[in-house]
Structure 1
Amino acid sequence: MASSTMRFGEGVTREVGQDLANMKAQKVLVMTDPNIAKLPVMKTVVESLKANGVPFVIYDRTRVEPSDQSFQDAIDFAKQHKPDVFLAVGGGSVMDTCKAANLYMHYPEADLLEFVNSPIGKGSVIHKTLSPLIAVPTTAGTGSETTGTAIFDYKPLNVKTGIANRKLRPTLGIVDPLNTQTMPRQVKIASGLDVLCHALESYTAIPYNERTPRPTNPAERPAYQGSNPISDIWSLEALRLTVKYLARSANDPLDKEANAEMCLAASAAGTGFGSAGVHLCHGMSYPISGLNKSYKHPEYNVDHKIVPHGISVAVTAPAVFRYTGEACPDRHFKAAEIFGADVSSKVRKAESAGPLLAEQLTKFLENLGVPNGLEALGYTKDDIPALVKGTLPQHRVTKLAPLETGSEALEKIFADAMKNY
């Protein structure tokens, strides 16, 4: 079990300059995106760095939902400036891009696919120690401040993929609820749905002691190892918090309690899935985002079409858990109970676990106004073969599903996810 050091509380962002001074940082690369660059959090960060005499350079070109090209641009910038410490200020896109820049700065001759998960990339082991990285999340969603994962769109194949290795984990995550107050409602919802699926998928992933074969060397042990007794604690707590506070946080940007609890939920889920992993919702989400024809989600201030990551994972969630219920019914019943379902002995039949959780998820998504399945994102049943084809290479996550899931099963799940309510 591995995790990043975390600091939580309102106003802790202003301490980052002292942290970097304590680390004796000589040159800090501050990475953000064009929207965050204009917000109070960046003013706080810059003032803290200047007040503590920390030399820095800013990269503010991070792409929301990064691509191989945007990763490469950030990597080139890092190679040019050669910082000794990285500081990511933003959502998951910023933190993931910063991790990639840190990694490839230390492997300047490596091709981008060198460390990308197999079979899309080579999946090479990271042997070098990377530079320290401090992450200051501005969304309550990805939990990237706790994980060794960096996700991006690989344009040549029109799918999302990523790099997963414990050495990518931030040295310190600074979680300040004040930084999430400026999130638009739709960004809050999408971010929170990522937390929801992180929690549900890691809790229902294949148990760690059923994964085979055992790696021949501990260095080759995957970052995602299956559900385990420690990750279960974090995943269930993240689920409870999200069910209780996501709608409140989305509906009232000044609800300090809800904002703070969603920040905790995101980091808790990150700690859980950073150890256990995720499975089908995420594996299927990658082609949903990558094959997007024209959909652009409201309130996302970007110049490109976009299915936000949290939306792409959530639209298949009812269909996924309707399918996986038979593999571990007790866990599906437990999750459904957290949503408020009656799981008394009178209805506790194994075959009803998946449908019961799917019903609760559907109500939750409808209440938040989430797009009604894949059709609402512009997909039809004619797109299912391409969506299946894009999911099959996502071995990093699909192999963590509690049931073996081949092409035929994926076709049925995608068909079931065309419309949710």
Structure 2
Amino acid sequence: MFLQKFVLKWNTLARFANAKSFSTNGMLPEYAVEMACSNIRYGAGASAEVGMDLSNMKAKNVMVVTDRNLERLPPVQTVRESLGYNNIKYEIYSETRVEPTNESFQDAIDFARKGNFDAFLAVGGGSVIDTCKAANLYLCNPEADFLDFVNAPIGKGKPVPSTLKPLIAVTTTAGTGSETTGVTIFDYLPLKAKTGIASRNLRPTLGIVDPLTLLHLPNRVACYSGFDVLCHALESYTAIPFMERMPRPENPAVRPAYQGSNPISDVWSKHALTITRNNLKRAVNHPDDLEARSQMHLASAFAAIGFGNAGVHLCHGMSYPISGLVKDYVSPDYNKDQPLVPHGLSVVITAPAVFRFTAPACPERHLEAASALGADVTNAKRADAGKIVSDLLLTYMDELKIPDGISALGYNRDDIPALVKGTLPQERVTKLSPRKVEEEHLHQMFEESLTVY
């Protein structure tokens, strides 16, 4: 069926490729998808090879980015030993902020500029890897204003040059998938809004997925990062099809990283859902279950390959103001010195409402995703797809003790206008929703997410 639709559309596009009047607004729809991903190395103990990798890259002076907690734990000690054994000069930057901001990014950028580094090594979760990407980008572009590369409409959205330094990312969480993607996310404090930078040129040179790094992952971190995996896969699988995304770029060099659901990403996203079904609960509830945590590590990378090329949509778009407008919520197993809604929690908390909303646009896709996550959809009706996905998500959330809606995170009905306002600029992801979303839809979904059980 997909091939028939593709051939029909291709024939149409071939006839009208240069016709500016092809669409009512003069824009041509997309017709191609481009697959991009970091090199990935998987294996227990693989992080001990980074010294040899950097030596092979002829690196002379490396900036190692991590955080204060990880700095004293085995994952960082392992890479330090590897760097020392291979006579690699390095300096450690451990001031990474969980859920980074423009200010914390700038601090890392300043550190990088003072050090004159020729390579980067990130050891940590998404916040660490994203901070490392930003340091690399702005070190290599010293004349750039900070907002030059930041996604529009908050920033200028300029293309990221390809002349960045080598960057190796050792991921220590099974969640963000930042080790494979060209995306870096942060809170822009002047607007209290989450935004980011997206470009294939930001991708790490090498992503290392070493299951041994997960042995020290606390319960809530394993839980929330696991739900991030689930939502990455579910959102990318249900995103708008790539051939419906507009406009088609005038030059393939500026084709966006997030391109809509496509046959290549689908394979990775759906497989990530299956792995998550079989391993998420075990990985959270049994920290010594190395097999389950290892599988979730793989699921994170697989989902990232999927969403890194297809994109995410409303769960992530709505999550950004939930994180950015946090009042006084403090999560167990995270830094208690600062209010923080962990990323995976902010993403999944609206997921039941989101997929009830998006299901009518592509019910078959939602049912296929529900089946991959363990639902019996043998006799399911298309009209029930949203409820089936929502009920299944609520089962996962309840069993893994996700708080009861955004009200449990400190928000109330009076906060909804601000949450909607914070979502509206997130067009990079919200426009990938399979169903067009208006301001009143966002308001309704936040309303439904005040409590979820």
TM-score in terms of structure 2 length = 0.91
Of the candidates 25, 28, 37, which is equivalent to residue 62 of structure 2? 28
Show CA shifts across 1:79-110 (max 9, x none).
Answer: 11121110000000000000000000111121
- Correspondence list, 1:175-186, <5 A: 175-186=209-220
- Equivalent positions of 1:305-384 (< 5 A) are 305-345=339-379, 347-348=380-381, 350-384=382-416
**Counterpart of 1:131?**
165
Q: Structure 1 residues 60 and 302, CA, compared in 2 at 3 Å: closer, same or farther?
A: farther
Distance 2:422 2:335 in 1: 27
Residue number in structure 1 paired with 2:230: 196
Deviation at 1:340, TM superposition (A): 2.6
User: Is 216-225 or 65-74 further displaced after alignment?
Assistant: 216-225
Question: Alignment partner for residue 112 of structure 2, among 61, 65, 78?
Answer: 78
The match for 1:420 is 452
8 Å contact from structure 2 (residues 193, 320) kept in 1: yes
Q: How far apart in 2 are the matches of 1:189 and 1:139? A: 10
| 1:411 has 2:443 as partner | yes
Shift of 1:343: 1.2
Per-residue displacement from partner, 1:192-216 (whole Å, max 9, x unpaired)?
0110100000000000111011111
Write the distance in 1 (CA, Å) between the matches of 2:351 and 2:82. 41
Matched, 1:205 2:239: yes
Report which stretch shifted further, 198-207 or 211-220.
211-220
Q: Distance in 1 between matches of 2:436 and 2:159?
A: 26
- Distance in structure 2 (CA, Å) of the matches to 1:245 and 1:281: 22
Paired positions, count: 419
Pair 1:300-2:334 in alignment: yes
- Give secondary structure in 2 for the equivalent of 1:223: coil
Report the secondary structure of 2:68's partner residue.
Answer: coil
SS of aligned partner of 2:40:
strand
- Describe the SS at the equivalent of 1:181: helix
Q: Which secondary structure state, in structure 2, belongs to the residue aligned with residue 213 of structure 1? A: coil
Q: Within the alignment, does 1:88 sit opposite 2:88 as a pair?
A: no
Quick one: which amino acid aligns to residue 432 of structure 2? L
User: C-alpha displacement at 1:126, in angstroms?
Assistant: 1.5
Q: CA deviation at 1:8?
A: 0.4
1:165 aligns with 2:207: no
Q: Which has the larger radius of gyration?
A: 2
Per-residue CA deviation, residues 101-152 of structure 1 (Å, 9 max, x unaligned), is: 0000111121211100000000001134111100000100000000000000
The answer to which of 145-154 and 108-117 deviates more is 108-117
Of 421, 425, 443, which residue of structure 2 is paired with 1:389?
421
- Contact kept? 1:102, 1:130, Cα under 8 Å: yes
Distance 2:328 2:450 in 1: 17
- Per the alignment, residue 73 of structure 2 pairs with 39
The reply on whether 1:152 has 2:192 as its aligned counterpart is no
| Structure 1 residue 65 displacement after superposition | 0.6
Q: Distance in 1 between matches of 2:293 and 2:58?
A: 33
For 2:262 and 2:113, the matched residues in 1 are separated by: 38
Call closer, same or farther: CA 1:415–1:331 in 2, change over 3 Å.
same
Whether the 8 Å contact between 1:96 and 1:150 is mirrored in structure 2 is: yes
Instruction: Measure, in 1, the Cα distance between the counterparts of 2:189 and 2:142.
Output: 22
Cα distance between partner residues in 2 of 1:90 and 1:127: 25
The CA deviation at 1:24 is 1.1
In structure 1, runs of 5+ residues without a counterpart are none
CA contact (8 A) 1:106 1:128 kept: no
What per-residue deviation string (whole Å, max 9, x for no partner) do you get for residues 362-388 of structure 1? Answer: 111000000111111111111111000
1:287 aligns with 2:326: no
TM-superposed CA distance for 1:302, in Å, is 4.7
Q: 1:224 matched to which residue of 2?
A: 258
The residue identity in structure 2 corresponding to 1:187 is: V
Whether contact under 8 Å (2:276, 2:373) holds in the other structure is no
Alignment partner, residue 9 of structure 1: 43
Aligned match of 2:24: none
TM-aligned CA deviation for residue 39 of structure 1: 0.3
Q: Secondary structure at the match of 1:6?
A: strand
Cα shift readout 1:279-300 (whole Å, capped 9, x = no counterpart): 0000000000011111011111
State the superposition RMSD in angstroms: 0.8
Alpha-carbon offset, residue 29 of structure 1: 0.5
Larger CA deviation: 276-285 vs 103-112: 103-112
User: SS at the partner of 1:89?
Assistant: strand
Q: Which residue of 1 aligns with 2:25?
A: none
SS at match of 1:7: strand
TM-score (norm 1): 0.98
The counterpart of 1:120, out of the listed 126, 130, 154, is 154
> Equivalents in 1 of 2:336, 2:43: separation in Å?
30
Does the 8 Å contact 2:68/2:96 carry over to 1? yes
Given that residues 113 and 122 in structure 1 are in contact (C-alpha distance below 8 angstroms), is that contact kept between their aligned partners in structure 2? Answer: yes
Pairwise CA distance, 1:246: 1.1
